[in-house]
Amino acid sequence: MKRSVSEYVRVRERRLHVRLWGDAAAPMLFMLHGWHDVSASFQFVVDALQREWRVVAPDWRGFGLSQWNDDAYWFPDYLADLDALLDHYSPGAPVRIVGHSMGGNVAAIYAGVRPERVAGIVNLEGFGLRPTDPDDAPGRFGKWLGQLREPLNSRLHANRAAFAARLRRDNPRLTPTRADFLAEHMAQEVAGGLRFAADPRHRWVNPVLYRIEEARACWRRVAAPVLSVRGRDSAFMREYIPDEDDYRQRLACFAAARDVMLDDCGHNMHHDRPEAVAHLIEEFFA
């Protein structure tokens, strides 16, 4: 297993944890994790990389070892945090980005807002959500206001073995060894047991409706090449972008995009088939 080191960067009044692999002089590769995940989750992909890379993988605010907001979380925060992290680690050159799920969404939007800062994107199922209906706004705002009054609660697990077992129930493809590793990094000790290393506010309903038209406008400004990778058995894609024509229309927004489907793979392809993901990353950025 390749060794990582941790450092902390002060970004927009928040202390963000960043995990780093590889020699500092090697070509840089940013890896952005998804919702309810952590940077250490990319360990299996990093282990499978054949070339020498300087991998930079932050924990998003409120996840892993990064500082919590102590309030609601907004998607633009992630764009601003990424912008600051790129200025910190690669101030003079555009970067290669691998983004999973939410991380892929952040990368794709950011690449349209700051096209000069991105050299290429490997997007692991991060092309938006279902379009929303404006008529849903009153109910969403009402639910969010109600959640602001509720106590913060997290599901507790007795020990790391129980946490690892839960991860394997959620994803039967996860091997016991990988589940144990993830449990070491995803579980946080609290009074009464272990909880997922994330602010429970992330589970609040977002009162801001997802507007696909705004995402498309950003995607159309992306100048960098994009590799879209999907898992053939992904429950996420079946739920959020079930229409193949819709997916193709989204992909067509990008000036240079290629689509790859991985067999025997769900949404967490960096856990299910990390060797295949690593091969695609290095082939794409060769």
Residue 97: closest CA among 123, 58, 61: 123
Q: What is the mean pLDDT of the chain?
A: 96
Amino acid of residue 214: E
Please report the pLDDT score of residue 283 as a whole number: 98
How many Å apart are CA 72 and CA 144, to the nearest integer? 10
What is the tally of helices (H) and strands (E) in the chain? 11, 10
Q: Which helix (H) or strand (E) holds 117?
A: none
Contact by Cβ (8 Å): 50, 278: yes
How many Å apart are CA 206 and CA 24, to the nearest integer? 38
Read off the pLDDT of each residue in 40-63 and give the average, rounded to a whole number. 98
Please report the pLDDT score of residue 70 as a whole number: 84
Fold of 4-132+211-284: Rossmann fold (3.40.50)
73-119, pLDDT tens digit by residue? 999 999 999 999 999 999 989 999 999 999 999 999 999 999 999 99
Please report the pLDDT score of residue 92 as a whole number: 87
How many Å apart are CA 271 and CA 217, to the nearest integer? 32
Strand partners, 229: 124, 260
Cα angle, residue 60 at apex, residues 37 and 79 outer, rounded to 5° = 125
- Placement of tokens 């991998």 in the chain: 55
Query: Encoding tokens for residue 138?
Result: 């009153």
Structural domain boundaries of the chain?
4-132+211-284
- Global pTM reads 0.96
Whether pLDDT at 159 is above 90: yes
118-157, pLDDT tens digit by residue? 999 999 999 999 989 999 999 999 999 999 999 888 888 8
Read off the pLDDT of each residue in 157-161 and give the average, rounded to a whole number. 92
